[in-house]
Amino acid sequence: MAPADGSPAADPVVKPSSNSTEEAIATNGSAKAGNGRAQNGNGTATSAATYVGSLCQLSAPLPTKVALVNADQLLESPEEEAECESMEQAVLSALSALPKDIDRYMYLRATRQADEELFFRLLMDHTEEILPYIYTPTVGEACQRYHELGIAPDGIYLTPADKGRFLELLRAARPHSGIRAIVVTDGERILGLGDQGAGGMGISEGKILLYTAMAGLDPRRALPVMLDVGTNNEKLLADPGYKGLRQKRLRGPEYDELVDELMTAARSLKPHMLLQFEDFGNCNAFRLLERYQHTQCCFNDDIQARRASRSRGCSPRSA
């Protein structure tokens, strides 16, 4: 219920409850805003927890289901705080027991599905420890294998078939909290791996987590977006399990119209919405930045952050 002064009601936050992990994943592990992309080859939804459960016996179980409460009800006692710290350590121990970094990536996704509060506590309290598993270098392999890992995306896919509905889809993705920042990719130049098609969603999701870890941005107000216009990666096109748009990349005016609709939709939601272009191919990255940077709050860190690093005498990181 909204307060009497007309201001928006407090956004829900998450708090552990006693329900089972299986219930948690059933509730939270579906593709919340992925246009049905988080499916296996048989067309049934899968989750990070399913993947993790097939790996090995872990040193700690997945967290329990969360219960939504209002922010003004979240008053933690010292006992509750100690319990949360204990759960964080249990997850860290479980991560160390896993054999591969991609397994740790999937375990952390499953942790987020089961208990978002715990996940973001980990992100803020143990940033240096888990960042390599949720972003570079591990996210590169996640993008390459995105369609086979059974990942339920946190963001949304926008395709040529969605033309005319971008604003509607953005609104539906974060209906209760409102979007303040978007990271969008078209998957054409993912890290140093080249065209990863729809798997590029992983890079948008990972970069959004940096906004929370480094700048404290509320993750409910941030949205990863994958502009799926096809792929020129022949291996993906030939893969029957690939879930992206199975065609060569859209180019020319039709491509530009989709990008323009996205930019217009972002301005409609919030005039000063921050939009980051992430890992676009060179044929589009420079010209899109030039087209929109003077009229919209947007940037491309592959271009601008590297220049800023060089101007300060720093070695640019892999973006």
d(CA 109, CA 103): 10
Our answer to whether residue 135 is catalytic in this structure is yes
List residues bridging with 298 in a β-sheet. 275
Query: Count H helices, E strands: the chain?
Result: 13, 7
Distance from the Cα of residue 148 to its chain's centroid: 17
Q: Which of 135, 211, 242, 255 is catalytic?
A: 135
Strands 66-70 and 12-16: antiparallel
Q: Which of 15, 65, 207, 243 is catalytic?
A: 207
Token couple for 290: 């030039």
Alpha carbon of 263 to those of 188, 267, 275, 285: distances in Å? 19, 6, 8, 14
Token couple for 200: 């590029």
Residue whose token pair is 């010209």? 287
d(CA 249, CA 188): 9
Where is 147: in which H helix or E strand? none
Using only C-alpha atoms, the chain has a radius of gyration, in whole angstroms, of 20
Strand ranges for the chain from DSSP E: 12-16, 66-70, 156-158, 181-185, 222-227, 274-277, 298-300
Q: Is 19 left (phi over 0), alpha (psi -120 to 50) or beta?
A: beta
Q: In this structure, are residues 39 and 45 in contact, taking their beta carbons and an 8 Å threshold?
A: yes
d(CA 134, CA 316): 20
Our answer to whether residue 146 is catalytic in this structure is no
**Catalytic residue positions, numbered:** 135, 207
